Chain A
Amino acid sequence: MTEHHKEWTVRSAYTGEDESELLEVLRKGDEAAFARLVTRYSGSLLRIALAYVPNHAAAEEVVQETWLAVLEGIQRFEGRSSFKTWLFKILVNRAKTRGERERRYVEFSSIAGESADSEEPMVDPAQFDHAGRWITQPRSWDEVTPERLLLSKESRALIDQAIASLPAVQRQVITLRDIEGCSSQEVCNILNVSETNQRVLLHRARTKVRRAIESQLGSSLIDG
């Protein structure tokens, strides 16, 4: 198990037992249960939707539609997947339809890096010499902590920007996997992609975000 997954286990503790109880009372029409789920998941839904649709207003509408679809389907939800996976899947289907309608999804599909088998390299080739060795050795980031990076508004904006400028499918994968902490199987299930494709897309996306952090470190945080 990687460090990342360990961390996620802690973060997702809330999807445990109390959630099935919450769903049980929701089925019986308990408003507080619904309010809790809406509070718990809407922020996540919003940022996943933003990987499909061009603006906040459209993403908000997709989130609303998703919750209404949850109410429609909750009696039939059998708990074969987790509630979170089921919920994210509903959202993704709706966001995809909405994105296609807004034409953005279609336009972006033709851009390089959109599919896993495009020619886009897995790493930045300029970092390596002809023999595949580092031209400049990567340095240690031991002094960097997420807290410290996110303290600065500037770095937060830069990371958001790096994510927003990823090709749509890479953004979808990294949002679900690394930002929302879904497992590889969950992401494949939600997005309906193979594990191999998912890893290729994820790796390209991570490589770009890493580069954005590095450029930010180079410009300001080194002495900070």
Chain B
Amino acid sequence: MDKDFRQTVMAYLAGKLTCRQVAEAITDYLDGSLSFWQRVRFELHLGMCIGCRNYLRQMKKTIQLLGTLPPDPIPDHIRDELLRRFRTWSHHQKHTGERSEQEWR
């Protein structure tokens, strides 16, 4: 295939998607839920559009950042209370078996 023709075909296929459509489809793309041809068009558009490539990277970075947010630790008084309840539960388990699960509360 000659190079000009190939570029025309690629531009045609990629041109079918707007930047807005690409931005809207990023989660679908990352989740692998685009169809084969949607994916081809998506990637062709990315190949030719620096703005969309940057936007995709920004979204990936946002997701990565969310995954690093540390949770707040549980307050000590709750932990202590839970362990106290656990002892009652476990005592009950050992003495009465599973039948009276509700009673220990």
Residues from chain B with Cβ under 8 Å of A127 in the complex:
20, 23
Q: How many B residues face the partner with a CB closer than 8 A?
A: 53
Among A16-24, A32-40, A80-88, A105-113, the stretch in contact with B: A32-40
Residues from chain B with Cβ under 8 Å of A150 in the complex:
65, 68-69
Neighbour of A44 across the interface among B32, B64, B71, B83, CB < 8 A? B71
A39-B74, A146-B68, A214-B58 in contact; A4/B63 too (CB < 8 A)? Answer: yes
- Which B80-105 residues have C-beta < 8 A from chain A? 81-83, 85-87, 89-90, 93-94, 98, 101-102, 105
Residues from chain A with Cβ under 8 Å of B68 in the complex:
146-147, 150
Q: In the bound complex, do residue B79 and residue A206 qualify as a contact, i.e. CB atoms below 8 Å apart? A: no
Q: With CB as the reference atom, state the residue of chain A lying closest to B104.
A: A71
Task: Taking A138-B52, A213-B58 as given, write out 18 further A-B residue pairs in contact, using a Cβ cutoff of 8 Å, ordered by the A residue number.
Answer: A2-B60, A4-B60, A11-B67, A42-B78, A43-B72, A43-B73, A68-B82, A72-B102, A75-B98, A128-B20, A134-B52, A141-B57, A141-B61, A150-B68, A195-B33, A206-B59, A209-B62, A213-B65
Q: With CB as the reference atom, state the residue of chain A lying closest to B29.
A: A2
Grouping DSSP codes into helix (H, G, I), strand (E, B) and loop, the B interface class, with mixed when no group exceeds half, is helix
Q: How many A residues face the partner with a CB closer than 8 A?
A: 62
Q: Mark A129-169, 1 if CB is under 8 A from B, else 0.
A: 00111100111111010110110000010010000000000
CB distance from B104 to the nearest CB of A (A): 8
Q: How far is the CA of A31 from the CA of B69 in the complex (A)?
A: 29
Q: With CB as the reference atom, state the residue of chain B lying closest to A4.
A: B63
Q: How far is the CA of A202 from the CA of B28 in the complex (A)?
A: 10
Q: With CB as the reference atom, state the residue of chain A lying closest to B87.
A: A31
Q: In the bound complex, do residue B89 and residue A71 qualify as a contact, i.e. CB atoms below 8 Å apart? A: yes
CB distance from A201 to the nearest CB of B (A): 10
Q: How far is the CA of A5 from the CA of B51 in the complex (A)?
A: 24
Q: B interface vs A, CB < 8 Å?
A: 18-21, 23-24, 26-28, 30-33, 50-52, 54-55, 57-75, 78-79, 81-83, 85-87, 89-90, 93-94, 98, 101-102, 105
Q: A interface vs B, CB < 8 Å?
A: 2-4, 7-8, 11, 29, 31, 34-35, 38-39, 42-44, 46-47, 60, 63-64, 67-68, 71-72, 75, 122-123, 125, 127-128, 131-134, 137-142, 144, 146-147, 149-150, 156, 159, 174, 178-179, 181, 184, 195, 199, 202-203, 206-207, 209-210, 213-214
Q: In the bound complex, do residue B66 and residue A47 qualify as a contact, i.e. CB atoms below 8 Å apart? A: no
CB distance from B22 to the nearest CB of A (A): 9
